[in-house]
Amino acid sequence: MVVLSPSLLPVPTLHCFRHESGSTGSGMLSHKNSNYIRRFHEKITVCCSFDSKPTSQNVLCRRDLLLFALSSSLSAHFPSSGCLASEDVRTASFVDEINSYTYSYPVEQPSKKIFKWVESRKPERYSSAAPLSPDARLRIVSERVDFADNLIISVSIGPPNIQFLKSKDKKTWAAKDVADSVLSDKSALRVTSSQRMSESSVLDAHASEIDGELYWYYEYLVRKSPTKSAQEANLYRHYVASTAEREGYLYSLNASTLSKEWTEMGPFLEQTVASFRLLPPTDNYVPPYKDPWRFW
């Protein structure tokens, strides 16, 4: 179900989902360049501590440092929230009654841009949804795409990976561990969880409690692109995501675009991720554990 919002909403700048003490609501604030500088120096210090002899460990570190520098260079030129305050965007609300969640997404920026969304996957129950990996743990239950701007918004559901989330008490889960749990199951290749994770670099992660529900927010890069037009070696997909837990399953909204489009499209995707909420189940709700191998 899609509902157009009746008013124009401001687009907040929520780059990197930086959480600061005392924040309320979604807990997602604009980043400070000083945080990036500090993290950049920390990565340099760690990388320089390796022996000069090339090993798989320091090669990985140098690769991640390059990715971090790429993301930081983009964010350093990212417009502040004040620059975007005068720009409004019209949004639409999407409600999935089968899986009981909602989020908003941009449809029009007045006198400037119209988004051209295509619902590539209509909402469906977990048992019949498309798997993201051969073990079929993590599955896409809905997806929309804007081909013109290389934008993808998808919602996936899957059980936690006990390799990262050992405790059953979700209040003890670290945001980075939640991100690693989701990303470890996010691959179409027949590879191990650690190999799947090596495809991604988590840039930032934090948790916020909203209306009594925990949400984990994270930002990451993926070292591949599903578009044939992106052949350059330095192009990646830039993701922002939000995850919540219900009845033993992780519900995750992922929004992404190509790294070269992030400066322009990032604020819209961040707003979408910030709007993600689990809803009280209705009679149409189908829990993931119900008939898990039913395909109709």
Q: What is the pLDDT of residue 290?
A: 81
Other beta carbons within 10 angstroms of residue 95's beta carbon come to 15
Task: Set out the domains of the chain in order of their start, with CATH numbers.
Answer: 93-278 (3.40.1000.10)
CA-CA distance, 193 to 184, in Å (whole number)?
A: 5
Burial of 215 (0-12, 13-18, 19+ CB in 10 A): buried
Confidence of residue 14 (pLDDT cuts 50, 70, 90): very low
Model confidence at 111: pLDDT above 80: no
127-183 pLDDT, tens digit per residue, is 888 776 666 788 999 999 999 999 999 999 999 999 999 999 999 999 999 999 999
Mean pLDDT, the chain, as a whole number?
A: 74
Q: What's the pTM?
A: 0.69
CA dihedral sign, ordered 25, 27, 32, 34: positive
pLDDT band at 242 (very low <50, low <70, confident <90, very high): very high
132/250 Cα distance (integer angstroms): 14
**244 token code pair:** 């919540």
pLDDT of residue 292: 54
Mean pLDDT over residues 183-204, rounded? Answer: 65
